[in-house]
Structure 1
Amino acid sequence: MVGLVALVGCGPEGSRQEEEAYLRTIMSGTLIPYSHLDVPSRDNVKIVLEKAEASLALRLFPGQPKLHGGIRAEVSVDFPFSEHDSISYSWRFKFDETFVSDTPENRWWVIGQWHDQPDANQSETWENFRSHSPPVSLGIGEVDGTLALALTHGPTRDGLEQISTEPVPIERGVWYKIETRIHWSQISNGRVEVLLNDFPEASLIGSGPNMNNAYRHYLKVGMYRHPEIESENQIYIDDLSVSEWNGG
């Protein structure tokens, strides 16, 4: 049974103290300083209990407000790194057994993405920074009646085309551990590996440049989708961690 946990004594609505109460549900305290909730309202997020374990439910619903120009409910993590570093991003996720996909249209629907941002080393700011689509993303769709996950990768500046992998099937109502290992690079030695449920071989692989600029790219986990998709959906997130990876 899944139940809502009241956030007693977590500070005024909309405060950083309240935000951290949500974040502590899914990550260690060392990651919280780099992390934020990207939700337009409290209706998009709740803490749930399932078999005495807490997770974070991120919800999209018809008519919800837009945030940063889009329909989203996400957690963002701006973990510091430099180009040519290798970083591991890991979390667990689950969809309800009644999760409604966007079949047959299968318009874009992202559950994990890595975005570029202004290069502070070049004195760039958000005021003069041109927005791009994410150079690395994990998207869902439905293939032959089965929910599926695919990796899309490659720079998105200057009209460059990205590459999408063949999708791999995932099940509704099942918790998945996903680890995405990224060797960050603007040149051909960039690499992305996506592993599911600790399986030793990567389920999804992308090679080649994966950065839009030389500054660190930040992670967003949850749901971000085409604005004309009108279903109500939830994704459950837990055990989010980010660390350096020495396999790159």
Structure 2
Amino acid sequence: MRNKMMAGKPLALVTGAAQGIGHACAEALIEDGYDVILSDIQTDGVAEAAERLGAVAGLVCDMGDVAQIEAMFAQIAAEHGPLHALVNNAGIALPGDFLSYDLSAFEKVIDVNLRGVFVATQLAARGMVENKIEGAIVNMSSINAQLAIPAIPAYCASKGGVMQLTKVAALALAKHNIRVNAVGPGSIDTEMMAGVNANPEAFRVAMSRTPLGRSGTAREIGDVVAFLCSKKASYITGETIYVDGGRLGLNYTC
């Protein structure tokens, strides 16, 4: 257990960190000198990831459950001290047909991807303000904050909300020197893209909309997140940095 009175390293929390982009964010932050706490809904996965990375802790938390989020932050404060950085990475998609899309599925996606981000951001910021920490918060948005896919209506809505919530939080917390930014991944080689990767035609179509002509890696997202948490990004707040191989700038496909 990290001794909160003795620890000299800044402390970061990464949600949804058992695998993929969250795992890569945690790895990059550890390499940048952070003590990192991982959280995830996967009990075994987050414990294994924490041990593999040498993280401070691996905590189980459903980011769609406000009570669990509050309990996790209380535990972190009691056992490890205040956060210097928060990475709101946990997210779900739940695709479906628009006309028959189930309202409970829509609400579940919003609960995890947007409400959970707000609750975690608010709790982290309160701790930073109370402890006079000039912290950094990074939210995981998506190119789907701007580009829509009809099969994932709730996901697109949630990521658009994250983009705006990032701006709101950045303005509200600027007077406390707490920076809030977001990262918007494009096509990244993670489990979420596994179906596309396994289908040659779907992969070809995806890459036809990606000028760099390849999928991104989770670590390429992690490195941008680590940059935004660092002093190198000390004059950046309220921004969404799109890491998409040029996709948002493309106005045609070949």
Q: TM-score range by the shorter chain?
A: 0.3 to 0.5
Higher helix share: 2
- Bigger RCO of structures 1 and 2 (CA < 8 A, at least 6 apart): 1
Q: With structure 1 as the length reference, what TM-score do the two structures score?
A: 0.32
Higher strand share: 1
Q: With structure 2 as the length reference, what TM-score do the two structures score?
A: 0.32
